Chains A and B, each alone.
Chain A
Amino acid sequence: MATLAQWKKQIKAQNSSLTKMVDGNSIDLSTDEYNKTIDEWAKASFDQEVETALIADGGQSAKYAQYRAAAYPSIADQLDMQYHDGVDGTTTWADAIAAVKTKYAKP
């Protein structure tokens, strides 16, 4: 995973200059605007990489509830699991929920 400094270096190398569009006119960014934009893009890219890794691999996060909500099986699938658990005496549903809770831990 790249560091914030590495992201900044990479984005600068890819964008030696930047332009903005204002009311249909293309204008070069000033040095201050350029540096601020590079900083913003580097931080956004760094944060996204961290979050993508967290979603893939799991871990502790203040956004654990959001990640869990997206990872739980659909309501229909959960009902199906509960039906079969009741009929077959299995614990598929509880196991599936527990796996998500474990993957995305509350800090």
Chain B
Amino acid sequence: MAEVFLSKQTASSTATISFTSGIDSTYSEYLFVVGGMHPASDGTILGWQVNADGQSGYNEVIQSTNFYGQMAESGDSGMVHIGVSDTYDQTVGTAFQPLTGSVGSDADQSGSGQLRLFNPAGTTFNKKWVATSSCAVSDNTVLGLYTAGYINTTSAIDEVQFKFASGNMDSGTITLYGVG
């Protein structure tokens, strides 16, 4: 399957990044690639939400699950974690779905990852998605996070927004591809 470039947005002290065009029935899968997203505030989670066609606000109902691995830069075995965290999932919630862990704001810290949204234009099934990310956490650990779930609506999804839980996106890019 080929990935077709659709658009790219670059953060520059930006509160939110929204894609409100280009998400339709053209492709059966849409891929958002987040590159080097650096927060203005230390230790904040990059999340995403969607808006369904004909609705207002990024507040659709999301059901999600997760698992993660975390390791300290020091390599201290006592700081190795593999687990599932309530922080990264929600049960029929309307909050922004975490894509990353708590990204640090040191000059060399950022979060990168990808979100795959399947058949967003469909009107029969709820909308499945999977996401993976890697981030430099504020406590100098690396956190690899896998999240997956569905957006519990049969309405078409045509808008997606990304933002940190607190503070601006200082720098970083989000690129949208169609896959099919």
Q: Which A residues lie at the B interface, using CB under 8 A?
A: 11, 15, 18-24, 26, 29, 37, 40-42, 44-45, 48, 52, 63, 66, 69-70, 73-74, 76-77
Contact = CB atoms under 8 A, between A and B. Distances in A.
Nearest to A18: B15
Given A26-B12, A44-B165, A63-B86, A21 B77 contact: no
A39 B7 CA distance: 31
Contacts of A23: 7, 9, 18-21
A43 B78 CA distance: 31
B130 interface: no
Contact of A18 (B77, B78, B165, B168): B168
Interface string B141-172: 00000000000000000000000011110000
A24 B7 contact: yes
Interface string B30-46: 00000000000101100
12 contacts: A11-B167, A18-B168, A19-B15, A20-B15, A20-B17, A21-B16, A41-B166, A52-B43, A66-B85, A66-B86, A70-B81, A73-B78
B14 interface: yes
Contact of B166 (A29, A45, A69, A74): A45
Interface in B24-79: 41, 43-44, 77-78
Interface size on B, as a range, is 20 to 34
A18 B8 CA distance: 21
B78 A77 contact: yes
Contacts of B77: 74, 76-77
Contacts, number: 67
A15 B168 contact: yes
B18 A21 contact: yes
A29 B15 contact: yes
Contacts of A22: 18, 20
B179 interface: no
A61 to B, nearest CB: 11
B20 to A, nearest CB: 6
B91 interface: no
Contacts of A66: 85-87
Nearest to B41: A45
